[in-house]
Chains A and B, each alone.
Chain A
Amino acid sequence: MANNPYVNKVTANGVVIVDLTEDTVTPSTLMQGYTAHDKSGALINGTAVSATSAGVVTQDQDGYLVLDDDAPSGRGLVYESGTFTPTEDVTDYAIAFSGTHSTLPFFAIVMTAVDEYDATLNSAAVSWYTNWGTLFGSPFYTSTVSTAYGDSRYICRGSNATGTSSSGMSISYPDSSTQASGKSYPRYWVTETGMTARSGTSTTYFRSGTTYRWMAVWAPTS
């Protein structure tokens, strides 16, 4: 056995008792907080962080937002997504998150359920994403979430009924009377029909029979 200070194979009377030489475990594939022996027999400490059930969103080399259900949560923005189809026209709709989050999402998007990688939709989403990166440090900021969502006009307005947790949120667009002067508002609503005035006001609504896809994004967890 050449230059291996560890024991990775044990034989007795020609019979293999223990054989680690074909093991594939590595620090990056072993969960953080656990230990094991790799194929050399060396003791290793896991560094992997568990992925959330909803995955993370990152940008690919072309600048497109990519949803990755397999990436460790510490490597990107945690997201949840879903759809809703109202049976009647409504001015807002409350969505519920399936996971537990310590903050409100710092951005969210609602679109009609066309291909989410459609160039137009993705361009708007990337612009939005980039704005946040510019404001709070790109590509992923981790320390200013509370500041970010402290001004609810910057995210899809509303939250859950109490406004103090993030088990869900109500989605509606800030009309001109509630927008801060001089602020540029990312286009939260990216739909095929765009924002539609109702009864001569700036209130938007979701149309019955149209399926909307939503995605909410949180800072990385670690």
Chain B
Amino acid sequence: MRYYKDIQNGFIVAIGTGGGGVEITESEYETILSTISNKPARTDTTDYHLREDLTWEEYERIEPPDESEPSAEEVVDILLGGSDD
């Protein structure tokens, strides 16, 4: 059986059996599989990329909403010098 790892931009995005990817040994496959099974829990805003050295790199999944962002009307008011009368 052929084992492989699929690397994109320096991260292991998948492992598998069959064609494709970079061929690895069964031992390396099992090691990566074990690492994947111990992936840190993601949150609504963060997830983790698996580096080739089998460490996890946290990244931001979703841009958090900026609650302080002004509305369109407020932006117009600001541009027009405000309307605090």
Assess the A96–B19 pair: CB atoms within 8 A.
Answer: yes
Assess the A87–B13 pair: CB atoms within 8 A.
Answer: yes
Chain A: interface size category:
20 to 34
**In this complex, which of B2, B16, B49, B50 has the most chain A Cβ atoms within 10 angstroms of its Cβ?**
B16
Question: A85 contacts which of B15, B48, B49 (Cβ < 8 Å)?
Answer: B15
Q: Which residues in A have their C-beta under 8 angstroms from that of B18?
A: 80-84, 95-98, 214
* Chain B stretch 71-85: residues in CB contact (< 8 A) with chain A: none
Assess the B20–A86 pair: CB atoms within 8 A.
Answer: no
Assess the A88–B2 pair: CB atoms within 8 A.
Answer: no
**A66 to B17 alpha-carbon distance, docked (Å):** 20
**A97 to B6 alpha-carbon distance, docked (Å):** 14
**A214 to B39 alpha-carbon distance, docked (Å):** 23
A93: interface (CB < 8 Å): yes
Question: A208 contacts which of B6, B17, B39 (Cβ < 8 Å)?
Answer: B39
Q: Which residues in B have their C-beta under 8 angstroms from that of A93?
A: 14
Q: Which residues in B have their C-beta under 8 angstroms from that of A209?
A: 36-37, 39
Known: A84-B14, A87-B14. A168 touches B33 (CB 8 A): no
Known: A90-B13, A98-B2, A208-B39. A85 touches B20 (CB 8 A): no
Assess the A96–B13 pair: CB atoms within 8 A.
Answer: no
**Closest A residue, CB atoms, query B37:** A209
Assess the A98–B16 pair: CB atoms within 8 A.
Answer: no
**A103 to B66 alpha-carbon distance, docked (Å):** 50
Assess the A82–B19 pair: CB atoms within 8 A.
Answer: yes
**Closest B residue, CB atoms, query A85:** B15
Assess the B48–A88 pair: CB atoms within 8 A.
Answer: yes
Question: B19 contacts which of A88, A89, A97, A211 (Cβ < 8 Å)?
Answer: A97
Assess the B12–A84 pair: CB atoms within 8 A.
Answer: no
Assess the B15–A96 pair: CB atoms within 8 A.
Answer: no
Measured CB to CB, the residues of A under 8 A from B are 80-90, 93-99, 168, 208-209, 211, 214
Measured CB to CB, the residues of B under 8 A from A are 2, 6, 11-21, 33, 36-37, 39, 47-50
Sample of 10 further A-B pairs with CB below 8 A, known A84-B18, A208-B39: A84-B6, A85-B15, A87-B12, A87-B36, A87-B39, A87-B49, A88-B48, A96-B18, A168-B20, A208-B36
